[in-house]
Every structure is written in C-alpha cells, then in structure tokens.
C-alpha cells in the first residue's frame, strides 16, 4: 500500500494575523483569507486564538468589522426569502436568565411576520438560546430546512452552528469560551453576519447594561448601539437597539430547564415575572413598529395582546412541533 506524504501548506492568513497582532489594520482581502482558512480548518486552535486575541487587544475599526461580517457571510450558506420584511432579534448577552427569545420569537411570528432565529450556545452564561430550545425540540437544521420551516410556521429557534450560516462564527466562539471574552468587533460581526445571512432586513438588538454585564455604562451602550446601527446601514439593514437593565437576572430562573419552564408558564398565562414579560413585549413591540405592523408607541401593547390571547403559545407549539418536539408539552412537564 502506497502512502503519499506532502508538506502541509502554511496558511497565508498567518502573516495577516501577525500584522493584526502588531496593530496594523486588515484589508478586505486579508480578512476574507483569514476567514476562509478558519472555515476550511487550515488554522489550528492556537492560530485562531491568536487572531481572536489580536482583535481583542487591537480592536477592529468599522471598516474591518464590515470586512469581517461580509467574509463570514460569504463563506457560509445564505437564505433568500421571496418576500420581506424578515425580522430578527439578538441579545448581546451577559445577563443571567435572558430567555426572552422564547417569548419574542412566537409573539412576532404570531403577528404574521417571519423571524428565522438562529442562536448560539452558551458563550459566557449558563445557557444560550439554542441550549434552552434544545430542552423542547431539535435545534440542528440546515439552512434550507430553516427557510422551509420559517415559510411554514413563521419562525424558528435553532442552533446557528448546524446551519452552515456564518460557519466561522461558531469556530471563533469555541476558542473564545475558555477565556470568557467577546471582543467588540468580532461580536458585532458575529451578530450581523448571522442576521444578514438569514435574509433579515429589520433587526432588534438587546444591549443589557449593568456593572457585571458586557456593557457597564449607558455611555458604552449608546456607543455600541451606534456601531450596530452604522454596520446595519453599511449592509442595507435597518437596526434598532434597546438599552436594557442588566444589573439583575431576567426573571427568576437560570439554567436551560428552569428557564424553559418559566417561559412556558408565561406563555400559558402567568403574569410573573414582570421583568421577563416586560422586556420581551418591549423588544417584540420595537419589531412591530419597525415593520409598520404597529404605530410608534403602540408596539408593546400589540405584543402584550398577542401574548395574553394565547396566540403566542399556539405559535410556539407550532415551532416546537416543526422542529421535532412535543407540541403538547406543558410547563409542569419540565
């Protein structure tokens, strides 16, 4: 038996990563080369960590963030819906118990808007939205399946890592996790690449502000919001940001099963915890106002009506069922 042995190619991106370590701005072509090498697994864990660290110590400017966003999109699958608007929502995290997608997605989908929510697993917390949804249903689907499910029931809550949408993102997250870091530029690119790739043109960003969150002050929060809005404009996406209170957990529970149980109880009609409900309907309300479904100042009331009427619970059961879960599940079963 013959075995062919060849010298491994030295990735060209290593030179570009070294340049970033030295504080030199990356070009569009250099950024694309790095991300292509990330996706093709041509970079070792140590080499990828060097890129993450370099971008953390020498922050990406807005041009570099746009390059990184577009590179993440171009190196993965994309979803193209026949009609718009397509809504999406993201929380930058950092606050315990932030399970709001479990309410926001079915509320928005129940209104007739489409929201193909792809989520991450935990980065700095006890569980990401994908970890929570996995308690109720499967979360690993292809991009094509996400599109089909969204067309059928109006929304999904799936793990982005299985869709091959912005595949570089999850590789980066894996290396970030041990250090509990979420570099600003990479976080902006990560969020917006996934939204762009699923075809979203209306995006609501939740920025929790608090002493122990990723954003400590309102000033930092406003700066980050401006960056999200500017990046959205560069990508022809409309973005609105909500600076939310992050000094206490959202709701009364932390951890996938407990958070899912709490979310189901609210969908079933519970009127507490107020912090969880108010935050969820406020963000869904922003989406309704952005889309024209509701007039300015009336979106939260529309979201509350959808929640109180049971329409959100009905829609959530449809989402659970289409993702292979038990649509008859109740909070008491968790």
| Closest by Cα among 85, 54, 89 to 68 | 54
CB atoms within 10 A of CB 89: 26
Catalytic residue numbers? 182
- φ/ψ of 142, rounded to 5, equals -75, 165
- What burial class does residue 332 get, using C-beta atoms within 10 Å of its C-beta: 0-12 exposed, 13-18 middle, 19+ buried? exposed
């Amino acid at each position: 038996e013959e075995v062919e042995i060849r010298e491994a190619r030295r990735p060209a991106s290593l030179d570009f990563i070294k340049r970033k370590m030295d504080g030199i701005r990356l070009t569009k072509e250099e950024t694309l080369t790095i991300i292509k090498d990330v996706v093709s697994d041509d970079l070792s864990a140590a080499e990828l960590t060097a890129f993450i660290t370099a971008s953390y110590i020498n922050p990406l400017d807005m041009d570099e963030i746009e390059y990184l966003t577009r590179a993440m999109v171009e190196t993965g699958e994309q979803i193209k819906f026949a009609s718009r608007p397509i809504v999406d929502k993201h929380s930058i995290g950092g606050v315990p118990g932030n399970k709001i997608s479990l309410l926001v997605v079915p509320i928005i989908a129940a209104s007739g808007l489409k929201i193909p929510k792809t989520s991450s697993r935990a980065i700095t917390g006890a569980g990401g939205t994908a970890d929570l949804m996995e308690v109720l249903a499967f979360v690993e689907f292809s991009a094509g399946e996400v599109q089909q499910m969204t067309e059928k029931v109006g929304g999904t809550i799936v793990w982005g890592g299985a869709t091959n949408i912005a595949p570089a993102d999850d590789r980066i997250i894996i290396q970030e996790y041990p250090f509990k870091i979420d570099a600003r530029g990479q976080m902006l690119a990560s969020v917006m690449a996934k939204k762009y790739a699923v075809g979203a043109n209306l995006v609501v960003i939740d920025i929790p502000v608090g002493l122990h969150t990723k954003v400590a002050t309102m000033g930092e929060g406003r700066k980050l919001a401006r960056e999200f809005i500017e990046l959205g404009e560069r990508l022809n996406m409309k973005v609105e940001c909500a600076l939310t209170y992050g000094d206490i957990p959202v709701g009364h529970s932390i951890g996938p099963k407990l958070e899912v149980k709490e979310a189901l109880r609210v969908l079933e009609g519970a009127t507490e915890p107020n912090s969880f409900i108010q935050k969820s309907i406020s963000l869904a309300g922003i989406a309704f106002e952005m889309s024209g479904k509701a007039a300015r100042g009336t979106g939260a009331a529309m979201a509350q009506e959808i929640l109180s009427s049971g329409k959100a619970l009905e829609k959530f059961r449809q989402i659970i069922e289409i993702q292979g879960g038990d649509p008859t599940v109740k909070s008491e079963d968790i």
